[in-house]
Chains A and B, each alone.
Chain A
Amino acid sequence: MAMRGGFPAQGAGGRLARALLVFPVGMLVVFFVVPLIMMFVVSFYRNLPGAGWEPAFTLENYVRAFSRGLYRDRLVYTLEISALNAVLCLLIGYPFTYYLVRLASPFWRKVGLTLSISTLWLTYVVRSYAWSVLLSATSGVGQLLMWLGLVDRPTGYTPGPVATVVGLVYVFLPFMILSLYGSLRAIDPSMEEASMNLGARPWRTFLHVVLPLSLPGAAAGAVMVFLLTMGNYVVPSILGQPAQWTMPVIITNQVMNESNVPFGAAMSVILLAVLGLLAYATGRLVGKARVNPYAGSRVAQGGEGA
């Protein structure tokens, strides 16, 4: 943003204003930049079981992360389930959002959007918990299937792979809808009419006009969901068995249960590097479409993405 000429830069007022900056900038440096640096430093420290850590420079944490099959597998699994979730959210979210955007009444459009993204703000804990109730043997789906006579005795699906995937879709679908809504909303309906006026049938119109125009939003949404899933702890740890645990769960367990902060820090650095690389690569692929993965992580502001 261009500087504003309004307030005189010189003089006591300008000096005071700039002095005030020390507070927010200081907070950000001391409590954001320094902790991240500290994490990087600690990742080279040596863990003392039961007694914290001792400063050192050792690569053993990184060696452990890469040499043990368990951690490599977890990283690969995290990538896989994140990609799966991104694809599922896109497949489910696209027709839904397209229908929503084309609703004739602005009122119902607003209601539909509000309803479909209303869960966005709710803690992951409650949202995952809702599915663990729904997929349990005693409530929800288990009872329903027995009542329908499909099974003899109620079975639960949680924790397990089905519950994990359903939970992840449930939690991140609103981000996808929001991202798609912005780009689909921006397409003037008269463009579709123009296409049909020129003789294209609805399917061809969709294929040649709507789909290409909405591609950046779809790509941005998929990337956002992918990266958010990679960083999520709550869903796999509530709805998954150890086989569904992703990197954030492994990291948190190391830090909180094993008290092995250096190893947790090393894996965090690895995860951050992978995320950064992927964000950079997809950012280049998607091109001009703005990809703000964590802009949406805890909210998202329509179209702008952040």
Chain B
Amino acid sequence: MSRVDLVQVTKTYPGGVKAVDGVSLTVEAGEFMTLLGPSGCGKTTSLRMIAGFEQPDSGQVLIGGKDVTRVPPYERDTGMVFQSLALFPHMSVLDNVMYGLRMRRVPRPEAEARAKEMLALVQLAGYEQRRPHQLSGGQRQRVAFARALAVNPSIFLLDEPFAALDAKLRDELQVELRRLQQRLRITTVFVTHNQREAMTLSDRVAVMRDGRVEQVGTPQEVYEEPATVFVAGFVGMTNLFKGHVVAQDGGFVRVRTAEGFEIAGRPPRTNGAPPQALAPGQPVTVSVRPEALRLVQAGAAGAVGEAGAVGEAGTPTARESGEAAGESNGTGGIPVRVDMVRFVGELVEYHLFTPGGQEILCTYQRGQAAPAVGQGAQALVRVEPGEARVLWQ
């Protein structure tokens, strides 16, 4: 169990593509860190640099505080689970799990005992003599875990190991992985492009894009306080409104959107730096999660779930009064047309269009009192106070 540090690592591929561009990241001992991002964001390259399969052009890789930048992969003491799992097809399950131990010159009886112990830990006792192709997808996955962990590595690395599995099996194995990791308290770096997977597994998430780290934080922080427009859009669903700052008063920034509506939101994250004042006229983007939006029937006296003084909004002339309402409640209403209502099981989705043609998504949890508006109806949308976040553009 050791910590991992990437210090200003950069890797440029032939052809000039910067796969990783000045990434600095610390994974604490025993922590489960997920590198999250779309394909080509540099997450896999970063992982492969920790494992030693790629060498950075500049910067350092530290494992347990020791510089291993130039140490070859076979001397690094990491345990890696590959995307394809890479189980050796010509060896039995037992030989697969023993491979790393044999490479470390552990005597055969000892290695065998240890391998069997690991197989028991992943509930595969009795499968020792099978060949990988005789196992189910989930069983192969567990063999890959056992093989990587049998050598008791200081770092556990996983490169999208669940990508090929169906949703149900993936869920089961995620729970199993998390349990295994907490039991062994092993420093773990996990790579995925699936934000749900990242949220449910990790202690902390590093969101990457174009070879850079956009934000590092707990799943909750990343979701609730996205640092950039990209993070807001990539982690969970969100509605983005472009606009410019009208004024900053107290805890809120008032923003006028391109369509002329006003939304109040919390100021951007400062990442520890002293808060920067937002000058009026500064272009920004406001992010509002679909579940933070509330739908109000046009012409009705109050919002469903919360009464509000926005009843007269909904006509162009009502924008002035909406602005006034924004002072206390965070926003006036945005007039929308209901385009589609979808029932998704645990939630109901409303697909809405503003007069300017921007699509807005609004969701209600099952059991929440959802407004009775149907397709084609005119309605108003309100932002729950404090739920909108202003982001630098």
Contacts and interface: CB of A to CB of B under 8 A. Distances in A.
Contacts of B53: 5-6
Contacts of A6: 53
A5 B54 contact: yes
Contacts of B48: 5
A8 B48 CA distance: 13
B299 interface: no
A266 B72 CA distance: 55
Interface string B5-49: 000000000000000000000000000000000000000000010
Interface string A1-38: 00001101001000000000000000000000000000
Contacts of B72: 8, 11
Interface centre among A6, A8, A11 (most CB of B within 10 A): A8
Nearest to B13: A2
Interface string B46-81: 001000011000000000000000001000000000
Nearest to A4: B53
Contacts of A8: 72
Contacts of A11: 72
A163 B53 CA distance: 62
Contact-residue size bin, chain A (C-beta under 8 Å from the other chain): under 10
A6 to B, nearest CB: 7
A197 B48 CA distance: 51
Nearest to B72: A8
Nearest to A9: B55
A5 to B, nearest CB: 5
B260 to A, nearest CB: 51
A5 B51 CA distance: 12
B126 to A, nearest CB: 34
B270 to A, nearest CB: 38
Nearest to A3: B14
Contacts of A5: 48, 53-54
A229 to B, nearest CB: 43
B119 to A, nearest CB: 27
A290 B48 CA distance: 37
Nearest to B52: A8
B195 to A, nearest CB: 28
A6 B53 CA distance: 6
Contacts of B54: 5
B52 to A, nearest CB: 9
A8 B72 CA distance: 7
Interface in B330-378: none
A11 B55 CA distance: 14
A69 B54 CA distance: 66
Interface in B140-161: none
A2 to B, nearest CB: 9
A5 B54 CA distance: 7
A23 B239 CA distance: 64
A6 B55 CA distance: 11
Nearest to B14: A3
A227 B54 CA distance: 46
Nearest to B74: A8
A11 B72 CA distance: 10
A12 to B, nearest CB: 11
A15 to B, nearest CB: 14
Interface string A96-136: 00000000000000000000000000000000000000000
A5 B49 CA distance: 11
A74 to B, nearest CB: 51
Nearest to A8: B72
Interface string B199-231: 000000000000000000000000000000000
A19 to B, nearest CB: 19
A11 B48 CA distance: 19
Nearest to A11: B72
A17 to B, nearest CB: 15
A34 to B, nearest CB: 33
A170 B48 CA distance: 55
A192 B67 CA distance: 63
A8 B73 CA distance: 9
A6 B82 CA distance: 13
B199 to A, nearest CB: 31
B224 to A, nearest CB: 38
Nearest to B48: A5
B64 to A, nearest CB: 22
A176 B48 CA distance: 47
A11 B74 CA distance: 14
Nearest to B53: A5
B14 to A, nearest CB: 8
Interface string B271-303: 000000000000000000000000000000000
A8 B74 CA distance: 11
B162 to A, nearest CB: 23
A61 to B, nearest CB: 47
A139 B141 CA distance: 67
A299 B263 CA distance: 72
Nearest to A6: B53
A5 B48 CA distance: 10
B80 to A, nearest CB: 13
A5 B53 CA distance: 6
A306 B198 CA distance: 45
A68 to B, nearest CB: 55
A5 B56 CA distance: 12
B100 to A, nearest CB: 17
Interface string A42-70: 00000000000000000000000000000
6 contacts: A5-B48, A5-B53, A5-B54, A6-B53, A8-B72, A11-B72
The 4 closest A-B pairs by CB, nearest first: A8-B72, A5-B53, A5-B54, A6-B53
